[in-house]
Amino acid sequence: MKASKGLRTKTRQKLQKKPRDRGLSPITRGLQEFESGEKVNIVIDPSVHKGMPFSRFHGLTGVVIGSRGAAYEVSVKTGDKFKTVVARPEHLVRNVL
């Protein structure tokens, strides 16, 4: 039988919370607002399936270039290309640096 190639394949360790962090995240994570040009880190919250970016972009830093509905468009450099990632605010964290 052919192996499944869904969106969460090969993410057993990557999309796993620590034992004390299990369960839903605080609601304030989903109510965050970002401005265009702001730097954000993409940190996927595995407890929220909606608006989850592809696992390849987990841990990368990008720049918010706009919004799309309730989500944000983030420009991320992978290799020598810039890609646009659409992610909801639950999966984005402000870059403090």
The C-alpha angle with vertex 32 and arms to 90 and 38, in degrees rounded to 5, equals 100
User: What DSSP letter does each residue of 54-79 carry, written as one string?
Assistant: PGGGTT-EEEEEEEETTEEEEEEEET
Domain annotation covers residue 8: no
Q: What is the span of the domain harbouring residue 62?
A: 28-94
pLDDT number for residue 35: 96
Averaged over successive runs of 10 residues, the pLDDT of the chain (97 residues) comes to: 90 94 94 96 95 95 97 97 97 91
- The tokens for 71 are 């989500």
Q: For residue 71, give the CATH number of its domain.
A: 2.30.30.70
Number of domains in the chain: 1
- The tokens for 29 are 């994570």
What are the beta bridge partners of residue 62?
40, 76
pLDDT number for residue 39: 97
Domain annotation covers residue 14: no
